[in-house]
Amino acid sequence: METLRTADGRDLPPCPKNEIKRECRRLWQVIEMIMEVEAEQRQAAETAAPGIAQLSHLRGIGLTIASVMMNEVFFRDFQNRREVAGYLGLASSPWSSGAVGRDQGIQRSGNPRARRTAIELGWLWLRHQPDSGLARWFHERVGAGKGRIRRTMVVVLARKLIIAL
């Protein structure tokens, strides 16, 4: 703190220096509180549901996403992958009229919280598991594409990931 200087090279006046010290103390208090909350969540997850702890050990999946997935999706028994996709609202929605048949995208009729979390998990998976088979599949399909194609394909990746989990 003593080496802080203004833009023109003068020593920092005492009032702004004290304000910076107070802000640093507040920041450290918040960091300590966050660490306490995370420790409580970790302990609750280990005692309440062992599946949450198992999921959170995977790189890229934290306690929050693991608990949402266990509480919203993985508590149910699904017969096949279509049921999983349908429950999340990530199943395709076909449309046909006579000889014309089209795919209208995903249904979005399932559990919205689980769907949002699954899509967020897809993005996290790409970031934290770049060497996994699903991440390689994603990069082969998307390549250097940006924007809409990446967003669309991450939804497909999320569906594949939840089915795999």
> 43 or 1: whose pLDDT is higher?
43
Average pLDDT over residues 64-78: 77
- Highest mean pLDDT of the ranges 15-19, 38-42, 72-76: 15-19
User: Confidence class of residue 23 from pLDDT cuts 50, 70 and 90?
Assistant: very high
pLDDT at 32 over 70: yes
CA-CA distance, 109 to 102, in Å (whole number)? 18
Give the DSSP per-residue string, 21-82: HHHHHHHHHHHHHHHHHHHHHHHHHHHH-HHHHHHHTSTT--HHHHHHHHHHTTTS--SSHH
9: helix, strand or coil? coil
What 8-state DSSP symbol labels residue 94? E
Average pLDDT over residues 6-21: 86
CA-CA distance, 111 to 157, in Å (whole number)? 17
Average pLDDT over residues 57-69: 77
User: Confidence class of residue 28 from pLDDT cuts 50, 70 and 90?
Assistant: very high
For position 5, what pLDDT does the model report? 81
Strand partners, 11: 5
Tell the burial category of 4 from Cβ atoms under 10 Å away from its Cβ (0-12, 13-18, 19+): exposed
- The amino acid sitting at 34 is I
In this prediction, what percent of the chain has a pLDDT beyond 90? Answer: 10
- Highest mean pLDDT of the ranges 1-5, 16-20, 122-126: 16-20
> 41 or 102: whose pLDDT is higher?
41
Residue found under tokens 């979005």? 108
For position 4, what pLDDT does the model report? 78
User: Confidence class of residue 74 from pLDDT cuts 50, 70 and 90?
Assistant: confident
Tell the burial category of 123 from Cβ atoms under 10 Å away from its Cβ (0-12, 13-18, 19+): middle
> 75 or 11: whose pLDDT is higher?
11
96: helix, strand or coil? strand
CA-CA distance, 105 to 95, in Å (whole number)? 10
